[in-house]
Chains A and B, each alone.
Chain A
Amino acid sequence: MTSKKELSDLTLRFQARTLNIYRKLFFDLQERDYSIELRDRSAKLAKAIKEEDYPEAKSQAENITYLFKLAYQANLILPTVYQSLAVDGLTLCATIEEAINGEIGPDPEPEIIPVEEIPTTVRKYIPGGNK
């Protein structure tokens, strides 16, 4: 069972790759259709995951994957790169689908970090001598 944190990490990674492609399309190739949509949908995807709106997230992930396909068909990205992007996209969609079906587990227990006591020593000011 996938945990919320694992889903969040998966989304974050996919979003990062999406934004990299957006950057390449928009700035390097001056592409103005797919790239902007990729950027907007990746933001909506992250928001939906954060708000646990999984149907919306799934819709965004599917659309992003479809946009990658269009970009690939327009020769804007390499086939090998598209292949791996599609794998990531489909994996994410499948995981979100599990979440929609309630197959998502709680986050693992956070690591407890021992907290040191706040030091209470008062430094004495020595005129001309502290530095």
Chain B
Amino acid sequence: MDLSLRWLADYVDTGVTPKQFCDAMTMSGSKVECYNTEADYITNCVVGKILKIEKHPDADKLQICQIDIGKEEPIQIVTAATNVYEGMMVPAALDNSTLANGIKIKKGKLRGVVSNGMMCSVSELGVTVHDFPYAIEDGIMDIKEDCKPGDDIREALGLNDTTVEFEITSNRPDCLSVLGLAREAAATFGKELHLPEVKIENETGDINELLSVEVKNPTLCRRYVARMIKNIKIAPSPRWMRERLRASGVRPINNLVDITNYVMLEYGQPMHAFDYKYLKGNKIVVRNAEEGESIMTLDGVDRKLSPEMLCICDAEKPSCVAGVMGGEYSGIQDDTNMVVFESASFLGSSVRTTAKKLGMRTESSGRFEKNLDSRMCMPAIERACQLVEMLGAGEVIGGYIDIDNEGDEPYTIEFCPDWINRFLGIELSADKMVGILEKIGYKVEGNTITVPSFRVGDTRHKADIAEEIARFYGYDVIPNTAVKGASQGALTLRQQFEKKLSRLLMANGCYEVQTYSFISPKYYDKIALPEDSGLRRSVVITNPLGEDTSVMRTTCVPSMLEVIARNYNNRNVAGRFFELGTIYLPKESAEILPEERGVAVVGSYGDKEDFFAMKGIILEALDKLGVYGVEFTANKENPTFHCGRCADISIGGKNIGVIGEIAPAVLENYGIGTRAYVATLDIAYIFDARIVEKKFKPTPKFPASTRDLAIICDDELPAAALEKAIRAGAGKLLEKVELFDVYKGASIAEGKKSVAYTMTLRAADHTLTVEECDRAVNKVLKELANIGAELRS
């Protein structure tokens, strides 16, 4: 929001410099981005009056002008312009002057004749013919303002206003107006606020005889106010209005359009002016668009409307998309004679949805989508009619049509000065609080605060009132005190679990990474996912940032390999990484949201990394998380991983992830020239499988017996299978079984291996006898025999 300080001065006299103004406003909660003095780029340029014009002796197209610049002697300027005449008031850029776009003017000679400067056109001053309608585009500007030779050109043309740019948050649409900011400024500087006095002197006729308004959707249209103007006289706006519009970043067009824009800036209420002759049936109907309806908007684009969009229609067709943009024939034309002013309030969410669907975000929709105060409709339209009368732009027709669907129930909040003092840590009297609140429009009666209509949107609780007090009391003067009380927030069990998992992985030397949840469908080819794999079915993003981010991932492996590849290519010799990410598994129908599953993915590469190191990381983390009974089953079918160096991770027969060395072909796809290892874990499964309750066993009272077994078995037989058989055979007596030696070589047949286990046997209630231990060992040997393993002899 650009605010003209000259305009602001009409309503509140702050009496401070622009910098002091900006600092104070920022401290009171209206953040100032920057401030600019208009045309501060122009230097040493004054108003000049052409006294005499002579032909240049050596050039047909040049003329020598003697110009009065308010000094004793006139100066001589040579020009090629043809529109100059004696007595003309012109902008004269003198020796060593600067104009728009950094143009520097110096004294010089043109075909042997001295020229002490340059006469300027509008563009050389950085303005347009819209700002000065009497000026011409190509030629020296003929100044028609009240000024005299020697006046600074910026003051003469009104180019010396200061504009302050505010960053207005979406909860304060009331500050998207000069009056809103004036209210804030008055409260900030403790000055009186002078609101404009709106009064229409002459009204003729009755609007109800000329127009009828029907609102068919009172939910989306909370208020609709219409007034009419007849005998329109289209002309340029007066200078003061053009200056204010220009300072606010709005291009002046003509008196009627400028009035609607002026009121929008002044009151924050967007308005629209309909040409009455294009309103079929002399009727305005506010309704939802019908299926298949379309409208040609003011920008000349034919737009298809859908039934959820609200339209302002005449008896036959839509004339305007409510709150967004008018139709082609709804605006002001050169032959417009009678107009209908509309000042309405639409539901913010509806305007936003409509604007987004139509792909057009206008100044108007940007304001309406913040839910404007419907109480502002009437003052704004009255002000517009007053300006019409003031500018002689037409005659105001008597009466108005006001359809108010919102009611006038005020919103109240309990006034608790003690609570506010406690909450803010200050000691401010109730009277002073009332003074602050009343300055910004609140009414306080007893213990009740009535919230002004323009603040109902963001003042719902006594804490909001405390905020109002704090910002005008001064955040910087609130004394520093120690924080009291205890935090009531806490992490959920799942969050705690993930945090612990994250720390455990970090403790194992892994760096945490975060990657995008969206990937390219080509990534599935890069990890050699089979064509018929269900994981290739992904949620497709409607508006992707690019092809590389066009689908939601169904596996985190490609993202991890990207990280490994990037680090490898950046000459990092080794690395361990992990990510606690999310995968998105689509449902049968695209209408149903996908299943979002949390996944932990760990990746590593480097000389010291191998399958067992990765397995160790996973086992360590799961053990510390209370997840026991993890089994690893060899998987030779997963094409992403190296055949024979991959295993499925499961708990109680339920697959919870995969671990393995990445297949060489996949590594090549990523340009990784070293071995890499990846493991994935489904966080939800391991979270459910964890054992929270810790059980403690008493120290054994009876001694244990240990038996060592050296077993010969097929090389292919995994140690896990042997261990399972030993546990099954030894039963309850087995306290611990541990692999302590693996041997292949002399005296061991080809394709076989020797593995040695230590079994610790113990009974809780007696000392084991030799017979009991032997029986257990025999049972173990039987179980081992079933899987083709036998005692080494």
Residues of B within 8 Å of A106, CB to CB, are: none
Residues of A within 8 Å of B706, CB to CB, are: 28-29
Chain B, residue nearest A20 (CB): B740
Interface residues of B in 150-172 (CB under 8 A from A): none
A6 to B730, CA, bound (A): 40
Residues of B within 8 Å of A2, CB to CB, are: none
B674 within 8 A of A: yes
Give the residue of B545, B746, B756 whose beta carbon is less than 8 angstroms from that of A87. B746
Give the residue of B516, B569, B708, B792 whose beta carbon is less than 8 angstroms from that of A131. B516
Please state if A78 and B708 are interface contacts (CB–CB under 8 Å): yes
Q: A23-B740, A78-B756 are in contact. Are A84 and B748 (CB under 8 A)?
A: yes
Please state if A17 and B516 are interface contacts (CB–CB under 8 Å): no
B747 within 8 A of A: yes
Of the stretches A31-39, A56-64, A115-123, the one at the interface is A115-123
Chain A, residue nearest B569 (CB): A116
A23 to B741, CA, bound (A): 11
Chain A, residue nearest B516 (CB): A131
Please state if A118 and B570 are interface contacts (CB–CB under 8 Å): yes
A113 to B676, CA, bound (A): 14
Closest Cβ of chain A to B734, distance in Å, is 15
Q: A80-B710, A80-B792, A84-B748 are in contact. Are A118 and B673 (CB under 8 A)?
A: no
Residues of B within 8 Å of A29, CB to CB, are: 706
Give the residue of B516, B569, B793 whose beta carbon is less than 8 angstroms from that of A80. B793
B745 within 8 A of A: yes
Residues of B within 8 Å of A113, CB to CB, are: 673-674
B754 within 8 A of A: yes
Contact flags (1/0) for A88-131 with B, using CB distance below 8 Å?
10010000000000000000000001111111000000100101
A129 to B516, CA, bound (A): 11
A24 within 8 A of B: yes
Q: A28-B706, A87-B745, A87-B746 are in contact. Are A129 and B545 (CB under 8 A)?
A: yes
A131 to B545, CA, bound (A): 10
B571 within 8 A of A: yes
A77 within 8 A of B: yes
Residues of A within 8 Å of B756, CB to CB, are: 78, 80-81
A45 within 8 A of B: no
We find that the number of chain A residues with CB closer than 8 angstroms to chain B is 27
Please state if A84 and B673 are interface contacts (CB–CB under 8 Å): no
Chain B, residue nearest A23 (CB): B740
B419 within 8 A of A: no
Residues of B within 8 Å of A85, CB to CB, are: 741, 743
Residues of B within 8 Å of A73, CB to CB, are: none
Give the residue of A17, A116, A126, A129 whose beta carbon is less than 8 angstroms from that of B741. A17
Chain A, residue nearest B545 (CB): A129
Chain A, residue nearest B672 (CB): A116
We find that the number of chain B residues with CB closer than 8 angstroms to chain A is 27
Please state if B745 and A80 are interface contacts (CB–CB under 8 Å): no
A80 to B748, CA, bound (A): 11
Please state if B673 and A119 are interface contacts (CB–CB under 8 Å): no
Residues of A within 8 Å of B570, CB to CB, are: 118
Please state if B569 and A119 are interface contacts (CB–CB under 8 Å): yes
Give the residue of B743, B746, B748, B758 whose beta carbon is less than 8 angstroms from that of A17. B743
Closest Cβ of chain A to B735, distance in Å, is 12
B133 within 8 A of A: no
Residues of A within 8 Å of B745, CB to CB, are: 84, 87-88, 91
B425 within 8 A of A: no
Please state if B758 and A24 are interface contacts (CB–CB under 8 Å): yes
A17 to B743, CA, bound (A): 9
Please state if A81 and B746 are interface contacts (CB–CB under 8 Å): no
Chain B, residue nearest A131 (CB): B516
Interface residues of B in 691-734 (CB under 8 A from A): 706, 708-710
B606 within 8 A of A: no
Closest Cβ of chain B to A67, distance in Å, is 15
Residues of B within 8 Å of A84, CB to CB, are: 741, 743, 745-748, 754
Interface residues of B in 564-604 (CB under 8 A from A): 566, 569-571
A77 to B740, CA, bound (A): 11
A102 to B508, CA, bound (A): 42
Please state if B741 and A81 are interface contacts (CB–CB under 8 Å): yes
Chain B, residue nearest A86 (CB): B746
Please state if A28 and B758 are interface contacts (CB–CB under 8 Å): yes
A49 within 8 A of B: no
Closest Cβ of chain B to A9, distance in Å, is 13
Closest Cβ of chain B to A71, distance in Å, is 12
A8 within 8 A of B: no
Interface residues of B in 532-589 (CB under 8 A from A): 545, 566, 569-571
Chain A, residue nearest B712 (CB): A80
Contact flags (1/0) for B778-793 with A, using CB distance below 8 Å?
0000000000000011
Interface residues of B in 89-127 (CB under 8 A from A): none
Contact flags (1/0) for B456-486 with A, using CB distance below 8 Å?
0000000000000000000000000000000
Interface residues of B in 228-268 (CB under 8 A from A): none
Chain A, residue nearest B744 (CB): A84
A80 to B791, CA, bound (A): 10
Please state if B710 and A78 are interface contacts (CB–CB under 8 Å): yes
B671 within 8 A of A: yes
Residues of A within 8 Å of B710, CB to CB, are: 78, 80-81
Contact flags (1/0) for A1-36 with B, using CB distance below 8 Å?
000000000000000010011011000110000000
Residues of B within 8 Å of A80, CB to CB, are: 710, 754, 756, 792-793
A78 to B754, CA, bound (A): 12
Q: A84-B754, A87-B746 are in contact. Are A116 and B671 (CB under 8 A)?
A: yes
A35 to B708, CA, bound (A): 17
Please state if A88 and B741 are interface contacts (CB–CB under 8 Å): no
Residues of B within 8 Å of A87, CB to CB, are: 745-747
Closest Cβ of chain B to A90, distance in Å, is 9
A87 to B756, CA, bound (A): 16
Chain A CB within 10 Å — which of B545, B671, B706, B710 has the most? Answer: B710
A66 to B745, CA, bound (A): 20
Please state if A77 and B708 are interface contacts (CB–CB under 8 Å): yes
Chain B, residue nearest A16 (CB): B742
A29 to B569, CA, bound (A): 49
Residues of B within 8 Å of A118, CB to CB, are: 569-571
Contact flags (1/0) for B660-694 with A, using CB distance below 8 Å?
00000000000101100000000000000000000
Chain B CB within 10 Å — which of A17, A21, A77, A78 has the most? Answer: A78
Interface residues of B in 746-793 (CB under 8 A from A): 746-748, 754, 756, 758, 760, 792-793
Chain B, residue nearest A126 (CB): B545
Residues of A within 8 Å of B740, CB to CB, are: 20-21, 23-24
Closest Cβ of chain A to B559, distance in Å, is 13
Residues of B within 8 Å of A78, CB to CB, are: 708-710, 756
Chain A, residue nearest B793 (CB): A80
Closest Cβ of chain A to B218, distance in Å, is 36
A126 to B743, CA, bound (A): 58
Please state if A83 and B747 are interface contacts (CB–CB under 8 Å): yes
A77 to B289, CA, bound (A): 90
A17 to B744, CA, bound (A): 12
Closest Cβ of chain A to B742, distance in Å, is 8
A126 to B516, CA, bound (A): 14
Residues of B within 8 Å of A28, CB to CB, are: 706, 738, 758, 760
- 16 A/B residue pairs, CB under 8 Å, sorted by A: A21-B740, A23-B740, A28-B758, A28-B760, A29-B706, A78-B710, A78-B756, A80-B792, A81-B741, A84-B743, A87-B747, A114-B673, A117-B569, A118-B571, A129-B545, A131-B516
Return the 3 tightest CB-CB contacts between A and B, nearest first. A113-B673, A84-B743, A80-B710
Please list the residues of chain B having a beta carbon within 8 angstroms of any beta carbon in chain A.
516, 545, 566, 569-571, 671, 673-674, 706, 708-710, 738, 740-741, 743, 745-748, 754, 756, 758, 760, 792-793
Please list the residues of chain A having a beta carbon within 8 angstroms of any beta carbon in chain B.
17, 20-21, 23-24, 28-29, 77-78, 80-81, 83-85, 87-88, 91, 113-119, 126, 129, 131
Known: A81-B756, A119-B566, A126-B545. 15 other contacts (CB 8 A): A17-B741, A20-B740, A21-B741, A24-B758, A28-B758, A78-B756, A80-B754, A81-B708, A85-B741, A87-B745, A116-B671, A116-B673, A117-B569, A118-B569, A118-B571
